[in-house]
Structure formats: C-alpha cells, structure tokens
Amino acid sequence: MKPSLRLTNALHILVYVATARPTDSLSSATIAGSINTNPSRVRALLAELQNANILCRQGPYPGRPVLAKDSKDITFAEVLQAVEDCAAVFALDKHTNPDCPVGSSIGSALSKYYGEIDQAVMAVMGEMTLFDLVEDVKKNQTLPI
C-alpha cells in the first residue's frame, strides 16, 4: 500500500501560507508549484483545511488563504484529522480467512495493539505545532522565504 502524502502536502500548504508575504501569490497553481503537484490537489486540501477551521479566506472572492488561528494553536494531529478519513497508523486486513483459527481472530487481537499505537501517535502529534514546523523550515531553508 502506498503511503498517503495528504498530511505532508497539507503541512506544506500551511507553511507556505504562514510564511507568505502580503504581495506573494497564494494561488493553487503557485502553491502546487512549490509542492510539485497538481493545482486541483491543492484546492482540495485547501477546502479541507478551511472546513476544519485551520484556514480561512480574506479579501474578495475567492479570497487569499490565511491561517484561521495562531500557528501555535494548529497541531499536526488536527491537520491529520482534517485531511485523512482514517488517521490510523496501521490498517487491519479485513480479508483474512474466516475459516482459519488465526485468520478468524487476528483482526480483533491486533486492533487492541493498533489502537494503542494510534493513541500514542496522536498524542505526540498533538504536541507538534505548525509554529514549530515553520521555525524549523526557516532554520533549514536554502533559499530565501
């Protein structure tokens, strides 16, 4: 299974918006150029971030995307929940053999452990903020922002 880049792309968008100067273009095409993806993918993520009250729009339609709250109040966990339908770290195989002693019970046994892993990951992600990521990007930048 190919890992999803939705969280990575959403965080990229948020850093891009957070570090933009007032004169910088924040069109989906411009942001897509930074991510190296399609503008329609950016528009879809922008809409999900807006629906989650992480981003809002300012100015005349369609409006410039801006953070809806302080970057210190936006956590990785919140962004993940905004852009992923299922934020589970590991997926259970729902197609195991029900006639096998292991296949018929492995899912329920693993779900306990996977649930604990998911809770731990979300707790850590709940401590990671967009502010911290923006600061790290600024420290690591090789081109001026």
Tens of pLDDT, residue by residue over 83-104, are 998 777 888 898 999 999 999 9
Check whether 144 has a pLDDT greater than 80. Answer: no
Cis peptide before 101 (omega within 30 of 0): no
Whether residue 50 contacts residue 56, with contact meaning beta carbons closer than 8 Å, is answered with yes
In Å, what is the CA distance from 124 to each residue of 87, 95, 111, 118, 121? 13, 31, 20, 10, 5
Check whether 1 has a pLDDT greater than 90. Answer: no
Spatial CA neighbour of 39 closest among 62, 72, 73: 62
Give the pLDDT confidence of 19-39 residue by residue, as tens digits. Answer: 999 889 899 999 999 999 999
71: its two tokens: 């970057």
